[in-house]
Amino acid sequence: MLSILGFLMVATFMTLIMTRRLAPMVALILVPVVFGMLAGHGLDLGPMMLDGVKKIAPTGVMIMFAILYFGLMIDAGLFDPIVRRLLAFVRGDPVRVVIGTVVLAVVVSLDGDGSTTYMVTVAALLPLYARLGLNPLIMACLVMLSSGVMNLTPWGGPTARAAAALQVEPAALFLPLVPAMAAGVAWLLLLAWMYGRHERRRLGVLKLDHTAEFTQAGGLISVSTDPAARRPRRLWINAVLTLILLVTLVSGVIPLPVLFMGGFAIATLINYPRPDDLRARIAAHAPNVIAMVALIFAAGVFTGVLTGTGMVEAMPTALLALIPPTMGPYLAPITAAISLPMTFFISNDAFYFGVVPILAEAASHYGISKEAIGSASLIGQPFHLLSPLVPSTYLLVSLAGVEFGDHQRFTWPWAVATCAVMGVAAAVLGVFPVWG
């Protein structure tokens, strides 16, 4: 019963936001309350929800100060030279812009952190998309899928979790997957080329004024829209500060919330030391910050109820029970296939620490190594990022100025296709056996 309620809860949430019956923030709060009560819980739902909010609070703090930091850098004009150079390179050609989106996202994703990839890539590309009139859903789709593929590096979360759960070296899972990841990136470049051709037919190749200033439609994210906020004489010190922040982020020596809080404080002293100027900058970005942080804490309510009621344990157990013994020799491709819904409906921690060891133990009776099962379990990561349980995806849609439901509808077929390309490449190259 708990597993059925869990799947129904996630399906109801997805239906409500994709049909725009409810805003994501409202659905994240009300849907788990209703299903928690159906599971027989009452006043004890409060502590569950609070536990979920506490666990996600550091992420909320990090995202809030990260948005403010990059907002200050955008206002100060740090990204203006990048946009002008990009404009000079692409020459108004949508094909070059969209292909460049994948290239930039893949390079930035090498740090293993999705939030950083989204903030840096969207900040650099969004003004260009807006100026050319390109569909921002294309950017959000390609950036997210590129991050999903590159997140399989040993310092990325999923590979580290799978290796720890199976007690193997992360390199034993990652190195065999490198050709499959390359196939995934090649597929994304092809997808970018197809979308670029579509946008070129729709818009044509535009003649651009490389010295113009560009703003996103709607005004949520801007590049130097306020002349009074620009700090051209502080360009290099802002660039050095941002570089130091990103290097420190990759090194992991400072917790991300503390890192961005400190970076924001230093950035304000450099660029806007007067309280009135700082208040104006915070007010300019407040709508984006409030909407984003509220959504993150609402997601904490959702995950808190999912965990506290026991649904998060019941759901994978029910799915495993559906696999008949005769399918044992095919457990490696089965693991790759079920990694898509498993990591969508439950967290990476629940899947890799709770489900993957069980699959590996069962597969060992058919001569399938745990390294093969571990590698197969990582195939679904590009699809995982579409889950409402992933905080960084809310950051992406907020920065890109698109609706979460619209992003899911636009991206899910390509996410499945990306996982399929990686899975087929991994099976053909012998990363895991098709049958034991």
Q: Given a cut of 70, is residue 371 above it in pLDDT?
A: yes
Residues recorded for the chain: 436
The stretch 94-116 carries a mean pLDDT of 81
If one compares 236 and 71, the residue with the highest pLDDT of the two is 236
Ordered by start, the domain boundaries in the chain are 2-48+302-428, 54-160+176-205+218-290
Name the CA radius of gyration of the chain, rounded: 22
Name beta bridge partners: 215.
222
Q: Given a cut of 50, is residue 220 above it in pLDDT?
A: no
Could you tell me how many helices (H) and strands (E) the chain has, helices first?
20, 0
The stretch 27-37 carries a mean pLDDT of 90
- Whole-number Å distance between alpha carbons of 267 and 69: 7
From residue 77, how far is each of 159, 225, 227, 233, 389 by CA, in Å?
37, 9, 10, 10, 34
Q: Kindly write down the DSSP assignment for every residue of 225-259, as one continuous string.
A: --GGG--GGGHHHHHHHHHHHHHHHHHT-S-HHHH
Q: Pick from 46, 209, 243: which is nearest to 131 by CA? A: 209
Q: Given a cut of 70, is residue 285 above it in pLDDT?
A: yes
The predicted pLDDT at position 10 comes to 78
The predicted pLDDT at position 429 comes to 92
What pTM value is reported for the model? 0.70
- Residue carrying structure tokens 């051209």: 232
The stretch 366-389 carries a mean pLDDT of 91
**pLDDT confidence band for 217 (50 / 70 / 90):** very low
If one compares 187 and 247, the residue with the highest pLDDT of the two is 187
Q: Which of 262-266, 318-322, 427-431 has the lowest mean pLDDT?
A: 318-322
Average of per-residue pLDDT values in the chain? 83
- Whole-number Å distance between alpha carbons of 431 and 178: 10
The stretch 247-276 carries a mean pLDDT of 86
- Residue carrying structure tokens 């900040």: 123
Which is it for the CA torsion 199, 190, 17, 66, positive or negative?
negative
- Whole-number Å distance between alpha carbons of 366 and 166: 17
Cβ count within 10 A of residue 101: 28
The predicted pLDDT at position 381 comes to 93
Question: Quick one: what percent of the chain has pLDDT higher than 70?
Answer: 89
Assess contact for 95 and 197: CB atoms under 8 A: yes
- Whole-number Å distance between alpha carbons of 201 and 195: 10
The stretch 128-147 carries a mean pLDDT of 91
